[in-house]
Amino acid sequence: MRDYLYLGLYKSFSFLLGSLSQQTTLHLTKFIAKVAYTLSKKHQKIINNNLDLAFNSSLSDKEKKEIGVEAFTNLADTTFGIIRRDKLPISEILKSVTFKGGEVIEAYQNMDKQFILVTGHYGNWELLSQSIAIKYNLTLVGVGRKLDSEVMDKILKANRERFNVEMVYKKGAMKGCIKAIAQKKIVGILVDQHIPLDQSVNVDFLNHKVTHTPIASVLSRKFGLDIVPAFIETNNYKDYTVTIYPPIKSIKTDNQEEDIEKMTIAQAKAMEFVIRKNPKQWFWMHKRWKEFYREIYKI
């Protein structure tokens, strides 16, 4: 029954968004974001506490609200974008996307060399993966969580695969990533979510200790692949900029633990850089610091 409800909502929004102009869709996106922020007191508290921690309580209530609403706007824009692009020709996807730093990826392609892509829940992260896969004619394999709804998971999987984006699920992710690398595909990993302590390399992130996934670092060291950070952002939810940053070079010495730690710290720093540059683009609803600051998430 739940799957049928989700499917009905998806088809309804698909029809609605297909009949609306881009400007009207933008108004709807912002309206839903404001309503969601206003009604979800739980997420307001998480956002505010995260911001207080990250910026040492230096932001005003007005600033925190603006960032919080934008976080919901990014989420709505990402969700609506998935639905809208489901009907778009592949040739249309890149019309709204500008690339900076593309020579980084082109250099690896010219050397016929793979790399590992890392990003986070920043801007329209679904558009990021699809646009990079299309722009550089590569197959990108992401690591993610399977949706609770089988029907919606199949729809999302088909949507991504149409744009050369495949998924491996977190359970068995390492095996799936190794298989993808063997097939000359590009592994892409979101590196900004909390993970359990026993799976983590602990790093400083926005001046506070967090758990951080080491999977990109482990793969980098094992296969000698550099790590390329890339992020997407927008100022108007019409035009998007993908920025590809200088690579984090693969390290392999006799000290495996230190190698993995160094590369993982570098990924956290890359994520921190873009958040500090434009905090409105990040998904502040994560309980990012909960392993070491559980008290700030008590509701």
**How far from chain centre, in Å, is Cα 289?**
17
pLDDT of residue 170: 76
Question: CA angle, 246 as apex, 141 and 54 as ends, to 5°?
Answer: 85
Residue 32 pLDDT greater than 80, yes or no: yes
Distance CA 104, CA 86 (A): 29
Q: How many CB atoms lie within 10 A of CB 172?
A: 10
Average pLDDT over residues 40-66: 97
Question: What is the three-class DSSP state of 210?
Answer: strand
Q: Over the stretch 120-145, which tens digit does the pLDDT of each residue have?
A: 999 999 999 999 999 999 999 998 88
- Concatenate the DSSP letters of all residues of 83-126 into one string: HHHTTS-HHHHGGGEEEESHHHHHHHHHTT---EEEE-SBSSHH
Ramachandran assignment for 66, one of left (phi > 0), alpha (psi -120 to 50 degrees), beta (any other): alpha
- What is the percentage of the chain residues whose pLDDT exceeds 70? 99
Q: Which of 12-21, 168-177, 198-207 has the highest average model confidence (pLDDT)?
A: 198-207
At 190, list the tokens: 């979101």
Model confidence band, residue 4 (pLDDT cutoffs 50, 70, 90): low
Model confidence band, residue 208 (pLDDT cutoffs 50, 70, 90): very high
Distance CA 244, CA 260 (A): 22
Pairing mode, if any, of strands 240-244 and 227-234? antiparallel
If you average pLDDT over every residue of the chain, what do you get? 93
Distance CA 141, CA 152 (A): 19
Average pLDDT over residues 74-98: 90
Closest alpha carbon to 166 in 184, 149, 191, 192? 184
- What is the percentage of the chain residues whose pLDDT exceeds 90? 78
Distance CA 100, CA 245 (A): 8
pLDDT of residue 113: 97
Distance CA 240, CA 131 (A): 10
Question: CA angle, 188 as apex, 185 and 189 as ends, to 5°?
Answer: 150
Model-level pTM?
0.94
Domain spans, the chain: 2-297
Residue bearing tokens 């298989």: 179
Residue bearing tokens 């996106």: 29
pLDDT of residue 51: 98
Q: Over the stretch 218-252, which tens digit does the pLDDT of each residue have?
A: 999 999 999 999 999 999 999 999 999 999 999 99
pLDDT of residue 1: 64
Residue 110 pLDDT greater than 80, yes or no: yes
Alpha helix locations (H) across the chain? 2-19, 22-39, 41-54, 61-85, 90-93, 102-110, 125-135, 150-162, 173-182, 215-223, 256-277
Rg of the chain, C-alpha, whole Å: 19
Distance CA 138, CA 46 (A): 37
